[in-house]
Structure 1
Amino acid sequence: MRISTGTRRWMLAAALCGGLITGCSSGSGGGDSDEKAQARPATDSKPLAQGALRPLLLTQADLGTGYLQVQEKPGTDKFGDVSVQGCPSLEKLGQRGDEMMFASKAETSFTYDTKATLGEELHSDRPSVLSSKLSELFGAYTACPTYTMTAGDTPIEVKIAKSATPKLGDEQFAYTSTMELPSGAQVLKTMAVRKGNVAVMLVGAPALVDRHIEAAVGKVPAGR
């Protein structure tokens, strides 16, 4: 199954070094948990524009010493040749493509101590849209405990495990992805928190995601 352009970022962010981030860091994933403080949106406010999201992104000042922001070259397509096999839910998701994207997005990424990495995406849409699409996306990723992702000619075995989430925002989603790479097993953690009409997503070394998710969510004002 070939992954459409609109879904590649989610795929790589979830399970492949070089998605939102520039590399991977070894680590251990969090424990499985089906207990999430899910809240149905009481209001359906309009999405924020990209310009309103950018000031809400994490900065080097927020993260502390040892972090370096990654400057990406404009027009670089890191997702052009990615496919996945062995997971019907992801295959179905891939066929839907751009309809799974949100109204607006802002992003940034960092390296830590030149080894570990942390990427952040902020998405905005109506709360009901964020809620339904995040549930569908994370449900698809956690539906298959294992699958194979191919980047170019390189097959990568991926193992997925649900992760516990902190009690932040209105809804929380998280899982860890373990990639069996030639250099050894590498682990990424993907966590998303919806706060009103903004979704905060961190992807990277599990320890860094856990360390900074509260600060990332805290930059989104209440009542959005």
Structure 2
Amino acid sequence: MLATVLCGVMLAGCSSGGGGGNGDAKAQAKPAAEPKPLAEGALRPLLLSQSDLGAGYVQVQEKPDSQKYDDVSVQGCPSLEKLGQGAEENMFASKAETSFTYDTDATLGEELHSDRPSVLSSKLRQLFGAYTSCPSYTMTAGTTPIEVKVTKSATPELGDEQFAYTSTMKLPSGAQVLKTMAVRKGNIAVMLVGAPALVDRHIKAAVGKLPASS
């Protein structure tokens, strides 16, 4: 399903970021060390499951990353084009993901990313900044050009930082609306993308599965 592929594309981008510091004052205390990234194995149990979501959801079989989005490109938005070019070098330290269909025609995808909190914050700001920098652009999936319109969305007061936008895509089968929302809590970021009602319904549960102090 084309909409499912595009749902994954909206989740997949990761922007560049990083941080550093120096201090040579002998008497000055060192700043507290940031929490280290969690490994994928520690993230995977924190993903939403069918039991978390309720009736009507079916988990989608995952595909290797290398097979997912090779035929998808973006035109008409320089910041997104640049983001795509640097995707391989700019991944977060670790990631776990899953996705579901709901009543056969709606989708919900989730990714958990982990890195140092300052890196997560920087990358999420750049990622969502890129996606909301252009009110419209063209996405090509294979040979099919798709017009995409983007608007910023309100976010719930969850975690340490929240980001969201809504995309409306003109597909051959008709208009498709997807919402992308991310919440950072310490050194973990939850990102959901899918039908707006599903994202809004399950973001609290997704954040609630994270450790109290991550």
Tell me the TM-score normalized by structure 1: 0.80
Question: Do the aligned residues in 1 keep the contact of 2:62 with 2:98 (CA within 8 Å)?
Answer: no
Counterpart amino acid of residue 110 in structure 1: F
Cα 1:84–1:156 change in 2 (3 A) is same
Root mean square deviation, CA, Å? 2.2
Q: What displacement does 1:20 show?
A: 7.4
User: Identity of counterpart residues, as a percentage?
Assistant: 81
Q: Distance in 2 between matches of 1:100 and 1:165?
A: 25
Q: 1:197 aligns with which of 173, 184, 187?
A: 187
Task: For residue 98 of structure 1, report the CA deviation from its aligned partner.
Answer: 2.0
Structure-2 residue corresponding to 1:102: 92
2:22 pairs with 1:51: no
Q: Is the 8 A contact 1:15 1:178 kept in 2?
A: no
Structure 1, residues 69-89: CA drift from partner, whole Å, max 9, x if none?
112355771201111111111
Alpha carbons of 1:75 and 1:15: their partners in 2 closer, same or farther (altered >3 Å)?
A: closer
Which of structures 1 and 2 has the bigger CA Rg?
A: 2
Q: 1:69 to 1:15 in 2, by over 3 A?
A: closer
Q: Which amino acid aligns with 1:194?
A: R
Aligned partner of 1:164 in structure 2 is: 154
Indicate the residue corresponding to 1:89 in structure 2.
79
- 1:66 paired with 2:24, answer no
How many residues get paired?
193
Structure 2 residue ranges without an equivalent (≥5):
12-31
Give the corresponding residue for 1:209: 199
Matched, 1:180 2:184: no
Q: Is 134-143 or 85-94 further displaced after alignment? A: 85-94
Contact residue 109 and residue 194 of structure 2 kept, 8 A: yes
Q: Which has the higher contact order (CA 8 A, sep 6+)?
A: 1
What SS class does the counterpart of residue 207 from structure 1 fall into?
helix
Q: 1:15 to 1:206 in 2, by over 3 A?
A: farther
Partner of 2:110: 120
Using the alignment, how far apart are the partners of 2:9 and 2:173 within structure 1? 18
Counterpart secondary structure, 2:87 = helix
Deviation at 1:113, TM superposition (A): 1.1
SS at match of 1:47: coil
Distance 1:14 1:158, change over 3 A: farther
Structure 1 residues without counterparts, runs of 5 or longer: 1-11, 22-41
The 3 A distance-change label for structure 1 pair 75 and 87 is: closer
Q: Give the TM-score of the pair, scaled to structure 2.
A: 0.84
Alpha-carbon distance in 2 for matches of 1:157, 1:64: 33
| Distance of aligned partners of 1:17 and 1:105 in 2 relative to their CA distance in 1, 3 Å threshold | closer
CA contact (8 A) 1:50 1:105 kept: yes
